[in-house]
Amino acid sequence: MKLTDTQKKSERTVLVCYSKRKDIKHSHSEDSLIELKFLAETAGAEVIETFFQENDSFDSRFMIGKGKTQEIADYVESNDIQLVIFENELAYTQLRNLENKIKCKIIDKSNLILDIFASNARTAQAKLQVELAQLEYTLPRLTRQWTHLSKQFGGIGTKGPGETQIETDRRLINTRITVLKDKLKKVAEQRKTQSSERGKFFRISLVGYTNAGKSTLLNALTGADVYVENKLFATLDTSTKVLQLLVTNDGKVTKFPKKILISDTVGFIKNLPHNLIESFKSTLLEVIESDLLLHLVDVSNENFRDQMEVVTETLKEIGAENKKIINVFNKTDMVDDPDLIRILKNEFRDAVFISAEKGLNLNSLMERMKSELNSENTERTIKLKPDEHKKVSMIYKLAEVSKIKYLKSGIKISFKTNDKNYSKLKTLAE
């Protein structure tokens, strides 16, 4: 460990979550707080206490009630707290009001996630994407800051310099945003050239909630060395590896008929700030262009069903909802209750149950991927006798016909279909 690491003290932090009693079940808010704690710890905070308020009539000035605000303020003062993190998104005025009462740094969950992204960005592309998201997060808050000040002080003498400063800042930020978008566009164009070469390959992307084990699986399947950690958002860049052969510890071999490309991607989380998804679109392009998605689910997490929903929603948001998906339930080695696996196998009949870390059942996963690969539509041509019109209509039913030629010697028909239908159709021509 570096000297600086030991010297750096983590910030003493409290977490706050507000929920309307009508909207959210108590347990949901508690789950959100558990996740927020994990996020805060990922960012290096030391969580000392959590505050939770469930109330239908809240005070819009503070988000939480006035009494609760005072309670937190007292706690912060007597316990040497340096940071307060809100689960809920705070409007700028709320943030200001809270900071006036609670005398320490206050941030919300979006801000925290942006912070983690910023410290985890390694490649130039990820850095650009994070900076863009941060500036887009700041911009509306800057506007509100000015509105707030002008309202508070108002009148002659305050508007001029304040406005000028804010306007200058806004202009600088807008210019930087344009530069960043431009740079990202260039990166995306470069990627496009790369991906047109990749078009020849069958492409698979690993998607899932953050910390589900995507990078661990990529490493297990391809022998790659992608960064794995029990922290949120360990991966921010797409890394793509070639996969054709898997030999497991027990010597079992699974081989694909052709090479495939498999990519690891950034993880998803509940309420991922929208501008982050926007700026990560070029990284997520890999997902959109994939032929198949493996949805990794951390089955040892009791909220895995909610997490699956978040992933499905986020896939919709990036326009990947119609992709073929295999649900891969990971970390089965951590599940103590054998009934759970049995129930899930019954419920998700198409899912594969693995442990990426222990290398369990990876061959079954390869077999599933293989059968998806074989179910890909490929172009084929067959020749029928001149009078076999009935067979032609059957081909139309089972395949996508691209060309048909009526020759004297017979009917030559080209179409796209998968292996299964092709073997049915081939017998027609015999």
Q: Where on the chain is the footprint of ligand GTP (CB under 6 A)?
A: 208, 210-216, 228-230, 232-235, 267, 330-331, 333-334, 355-358
Task: For residue 104, give the 3-state DSSP assignment.
Answer: coil
Q: Is residue 22 packed enough to be buried (19+ CB in 10 Å), middle (13-18) or exposed (0-12)?
A: exposed
Between 72 and 234, name the residue whose CB sits nearer to Mg ion.
234
| Residue 233 site contact among Mg ion, ligand GTP, none (CB < 5 to 8 Å, cut-off depends on kind) | ligand GTP
Identified binder of Mg ion from the candidate list 215, 263, 275, 327, rule CB under 5 A? 215
Phi–psi pair at 158, nearest 5 degrees: -100, -30
Closest distance of CB 295 from ligand GTP, Å: 11
Count of CA atoms in the C-beta half-sphere (13 A) of 30: 5
Between 43 and 232, name the residue whose CB sits nearer to ligand GTP.
232
Between 232 and 326, name the residue whose CB sits nearer to ligand GTP.
232
User: Which range touches Mg ion (CB under 5 A), out of 30-38, 177-185, 215-223, 356-364?
Assistant: 215-223
Binding mask 227-246 for Mg ion (x = CB under 5 A): -------xx-----------
Q: What's the count of helices (H) and strands (E) in the chain, helices before strands?
A: 15, 13
Closest distance of CB 129 from ligand GTP, Å: 15
Between 267 and 273, name the residue whose CB sits nearer to ligand GTP.
267
Please name every residue paired with 413 in a beta bridge, in sequence order, or none if there are none.
382, 404
| Residue 212 site contact among ligand GTP, Mg ion, none (CB < 5 to 8 Å, cut-off depends on kind) | ligand GTP
| Residue 213 site contact among ligand GTP, Mg ion, none (CB < 5 to 8 Å, cut-off depends on kind) | ligand GTP
Report how far residue 291's alpha carbon sits from residue 411's, in angstroms, rounded to the nearest whole number.
Answer: 32
Between 45 and 228, name the residue whose CB sits nearer to ligand GTP.
228
Beta pairing, strands 378-384 & 411-417: antiparallel
From residue 341, give the alpha-carbon distance in Å to each of 119, 146, 186, 349, 351: 37, 55, 46, 11, 11
Q: From the CB of residue 158, how many other CB atoms can be counted at a distance below 10 Å?
A: 13
Q: Which residues bind Mg ion (CB under 5 A)?
A: 214-215, 234-235
